[in-house]
Chain A
């Protein structure tokens, strides 16, 4: 067993290193799938809701879940720290200001749920609902930018320090990448709301998402073209990259068709696959590196960035024991909240629903 674990399997990486690279990718994919809902719902509060009460109702729809959804990001960060400390150090110190902006977005959004429910006047509540909206746009945009600027190759020194200039972070690919993540999160949130709210609102959500798809397509196509130009993914990892591209496109089209057929659940799964597909696209392209340097000899490889074999073994045991338990109660918490929310004659508020 120990012999097998230490044996290099693919590109000099042993089983545990491959496993943890996959686990990190999986955790980030789950994060984008789940928190994409929350970001999208946050965006919908400004784009679709007519008034503060409707905004509160939308926020109520994700009220029990957004918190636990965001833990996937924290788990991703922690798992990255534990299994690939050099990656964690290079990525987050290199993208200092961008990550900072994302964090500010997450902070604003994180406190807005609770604070909005304590607001007395509509004006006061509006402030926190704006904070929710702002955070819901800033965070996915920043994360999308970070993920897509990483794949282009950044200036790194031999110690793995990233010296990213402004245009390494802000460029066409990263902007389009950020926009794409924002739009697909938005669609994802709309589809989720179509499943959570009453029939009339549900229909409105799907009608809107029908139109939003026409903006999402160009973003996706331009992203693919730019990725072809700016990265070596299609040259270096041709088959897998093409396959993932096809899956993403197919999922998007399926989702669009589903909105026409009023199949909210199907559309929801489709946008989820698209979001997870973006992560798969990025991680697949990165491999066998975790950070691509402009000078390829300085790229940070999975095998170099990983922590010791012993730590990986411990972490694997912990993961195998805990993840199933987490998944069980996580899914259960969604299950018990599965019923649609409807408003009675009086307008809705999270406050009324939160504690009583």
Chain B
């Protein structure tokens, strides 16, 4: 266990955990906003109940997302101080703008939205949730602007005196082509995730004995439509992003496809395969010509470079990574962790298509003329378990993005090994890793536990149509009902 290894593990753990909740917040905020907007337009009370009910899940996710985000921000200084020194000039600006432009908006209006259901007209109140969604989406743009620079540095110069990177063109930093491929993919992925969570949770909701069927039926359809649109868009944007990556980070692309030797068109696509990272060889089930279609959208023209070629090319261009006049001790080649990338990509892509199919099926089985979903237990179970699917997809996405730039922390400019804090110790990193891990398990567990409870409590009964009072058995409902804070 080295400082570098532990720091990398900590960063990966925090990013992955934080990124369960970021798309959940963005996606659910959007879903809730759509529901509340329908309420404003149609004035059907059920949509207000839907917005309030799914809003509870959204708020739970938001709470966990916020606190993990704080760790993320300070981690750059704590664990990666040399990176912060090298890159702060460029990396800090988007981060500060994110706080000013996005995070203030998000956290102010979420507070306003939560506490003002009775204070504002529906048409005004709905604006607050849209602003919350807008804030969280903006925040994604700025964080990704910073991340895109790490993938594809633009608009900078190296200060000869300090050796630090300095921003020379702000417009270039925020118009980084990498950013405008990464952001749409993530924003639409968040919509897909938000929609799928509503679909999956509604499926579980149907199975509860006191389920409000009409309520969950309406919810599952809204969720499925959002998941459907989201999954179509996420596949398109993912494709566009890949085209960019083939140009900017060919090594990353080659690794996601497990290509060691150059491939001439029409290149076959390896669906699944075994990769031997040590021997630099891979073999598996292949579809002829498919990779050329995926990568270039045509069968002929274009060669795909393999990792062996790219490694030789990088070694030739940059030599071994040189630091202070000597070859870098820890890095002797430019290969990336191929197995992780290969399988992450397959899981991610599979999730995208799976959600697409699930969403279509959901809409089909809940169609007006013949609504059979709620009575088919196995279908509900499949949908319910699939709540977790998109989270696997987002994790795969981050692993590809971040491990794919190995050994660089900033592509071509600074290695991960050079970025770590010189003062960090194995002891302190072990302590923090263990505590964070336990905290994440606790928060994730409690989040799932309370989401489940919210689901089983069900939505608040509709006062216009409700004939029966809160059920005796529902302790929670009774508990909530006899406690009130009034505004004087």
- Bound: A57/B485 CA distance, A: 8
Partner of A341, one of B84, B454, B485: B485
A97 / chain B contacts, CB cutoff of 8 Å: 428, 431-432
Smallest CB–CB gap between B461 and chain A, Å? 12
* Interface-located stretch among A37-45, A111-119, A200-208: A111-119
Contact with B along A311-342 (1 / 0, CB 8 A): 10011001100110010011001001101111
Are A344 and B112 in touch, CB under 8 angstroms?
Answer: no
Which of B23-31, B318-326, B365-373, B472-480 lies at the interface with chain A? B472-480
- Residue of B90, B422, B423, B485 with most chain A CB atoms under a 10 A cut-off: B485
Given the known interface contacts A60-B485, A88-B88, the answer about A94 and B423 at a Cβ–Cβ threshold of 8 Å is: yes
Q: Known: A96-B423, A311-B167. Is A90-B81 also a contact (CB below 8 A)?
A: yes
Given the interface contacts A74-B70, A103-B74, does A82 sit within 8 Å of B93 by beta carbon?
yes
B96 touches A315 (CB 8 A): yes
**A280 shortest CB reach to chain B, Å:** 22
- In this complex, which of A104, A339, A355 has the most chain B Cβ atoms within 10 angstroms of its Cβ? A355
Stretch at the interface among A61-69, A178-186, A256-264, A271-279: A61-69
Q: How far is the CB of A279 from chain B (nearest CB, A)?
A: 18
**Complex interface: chain B residues within 8 A of A88 (CB):** 76-77, 84, 88, 92
CB-defined contacts of A336 to chain B, threshold 8 Å: 112, 116, 119
Q: When the two chains form their complex, are residues B422 and A159 in contact, meaning their CB atoms are under 8 A apart?
A: yes
Known A120-B479, A352-B485; contact A311-B85, beta-carbon cutoff 8 A: no
Chain A nearest CB: distance from B336 CB in Å?
27
In this complex, the member of B99, B168, B476 whose beta carbon has the largest number of chain A beta carbons within 10 angstroms is B99
Q: B182 contacts the other chain (Cβ, under 8 Å)?
A: no
Chain A, interface size category, equals 35 or more
Which of A160-168, A212-220, A227-235 is near enough to bind chain B? A160-168
Whether B63 and A110, one on each chain, are in contact in the complex, defined by CB atoms closer than 8 angstroms, is yes
Closest to A84 in B: B88
CA distance A71 to B167 in the complex (A): 26
Q: Is the CB of A89 within 8 A of B85?
A: yes
Kindly list chain B residues whose C-beta atoms are within 8 Å of the C-beta of A100: 78, 428, 431-432, 435
Majority secondary structure of chain A interface residues (helix, strand, loop or mixed): helix
Instruction: Determine if B96 and A99 form an interchain contact, defined as CB atoms under 8 angstroms apart.
Output: no
B100 within 8 A of A: yes
A307 CB contact (under 8 Å) in B78, B82, B88, B479: B88
Asked if A114 contacts B63 (CB within 8 A), the reply is yes
Residues in chain B near residue A342, CB distance under 8 A: 485-488
Output the least CB separation between A190 and chain B (Å). Answer: 20
Determine whether B362 belongs to the interface, using a CB cutoff of 8 Å to chain A. no
With a cutoff of 8 Å between Cβ atoms, the chain B residues found around residue A80 in the complex are: 92
Per-residue contact bits, chain B 46-77, to A (CB 8 Å; 1 contact, 0 not): 00000010011001101110111111011011
Question: Which of A78, A353, A354 is in CB contact (< 8 Å) with B98?
Answer: A78
* Minimum C-beta distance from A245 to chain B (A): 30
Can you name the residue of chain B whose Cβ is closest to the Cβ of A337? B115
Please tell me which one of the listed residues A82, A351, A355 contacts residue B483 in the complex, with CB atoms under 8 A apart. A351
Confirm or deny: B465 has a beta carbon within 8 angstroms of a beta carbon on chain A: no
A4 proximal to B (CB < 8 A) = no
Residues of A near B170 (CB, < 8 A) are: 310, 314
Interface contact B88-A89, CB-CB below 8 Å: yes
Interfacial chain B residues near A353, Cβ < 8 Å: 115, 484-485
Q: Which residue of B lies closest to A79 (CB)?
A: B96
Instruction: Please name all residues of chain A whose beta carbon is closer than 8 Å to the beta carbon of B55 when the two chains form the complex.
Output: 355
**Contact A67 B66, beta carbon cutoff 8 Å:** yes
Q: B444-468 CB contact bits vs A (8 Å, 1 = yes)?
A: 0010001001100000100000000
Whether A93 and B104, one on each chain, are in contact in the complex, defined by CB atoms closer than 8 angstroms, is: no
- A29 is an interface residue with CB less than 8 A from chain B: no
Tell me the nearest residue of chain A to B66, going by C-beta. A110
> Roughly how many angstroms separate A81 CA and B164 CA in the complex, as a whole number?
14
Q: Cβ of B78: which chain A residues have Cβ within 8 Å of it?
A: 92-93, 96, 99-100
The smallest beta-carbon distance between B477 and chain A, in angstroms, is 10
Contacts A89-B82, A89-B84, A93-B77 given; does A104 touch B99 at CB 8 Å: no
Q: Mark B208-229, 1 if CB is under 8 A from A, else 0.
A: 0000000000000000000000
* Count of A-B residue pairs with CB < 8 Å: 269
> Distance in Å from the Cβ of B430 to the closest Cβ of chain A?
12
B483 touches A92 (CB 8 A): no
CB of B439 closer than 8 Å to a CB of A: yes
A318, A340, A343, A356: the one contacting B118 at CB < 8 Å is: A356
Given contacts A67-B110, A114-B60, A333-B112, contact A53 B483 (CB under 8 A): yes
Asked if A83 CB lies within 8 Å of chain B CBs, one says yes
Given known A-B contacts A82-B96, A99-B78, A355-B55, A111 and B484 have beta carbons under 8 A apart? no
Find the B residue at minimum CB distance from A345: B484
Query: Within 8 Å CB of A65, what residues of B?
Result: 111
Q: Which one, A77, A104, A323, A339, contacts B487 given CB within 8 A?
A: A339
Given contacts A81-B96, A83-B92, contact A103 B428 (CB under 8 A): no
A291 adjacent to chain B (CB < 8 Å): no
In contact, B114 and A311 (Cβ under 8 angstroms): no
Say yes or no for A308: interface residue by CB 8 A criterion: yes
Bound-state Cα–Cα, A96 to B3, Å:
13
Interface: B334 (CB within 8 A): no
* A329, B105: Cβ atoms closer than 8 Å: yes
Per-residue CB contact flags for chain B residues 429-445 toward chain A (1 = under 8 Å, else 0) read 00110010001000100
Residue B166 CB within 8 A of the other chain: yes
Q: A326-B100, A346-B483, A349-B480 are in contact. Are A74 and B73 (CB under 8 A)?
A: yes
Contact of A71 with B99 in the complex, beta carbons under 8 Å: yes
- In chain A between 36 and 58, which residues have their CB closer than 8 angstroms to a CB of chain B? 53, 57
Using A64-B111, A85-B84, A97-B428 as known contacts, say yes or no to A163 and B93 having CB atoms under 8 A apart: no
A188 to B429, CA, bound (A): 35
Give Cα distance in the complex from A128 to B486, angstroms. 23
A171 within 8 A of B: no
Q: Is A86 an interface residue (CB 8 A)?
A: yes
Task: State the CA gap A193–B397 with chains docked (Å).
Answer: 46
Closest 10 CB pairs of A and B: A85-B88, A92-B77, A82-B92, A81-B92, A349-B483, A93-B81, A78-B96, A64-B111, A114-B63, A110-B67
**Can you name 4 extra interface pairs (CB under 8 A) apart from A77-B77, A310-B168?**
A111-B443, A198-B488, A311-B89, A353-B485
20 of the cross-chain contacts (CB-CB < 8 Å) are A60-B485, A67-B107, A68-B108, A71-B107, A79-B92, A82-B95, A84-B88, A88-B76, A89-B77, A92-B74, A92-B81, A100-B435, A114-B62, A307-B167, A311-B166, A318-B97, A318-B100, A344-B484, A355-B117, A356-B118
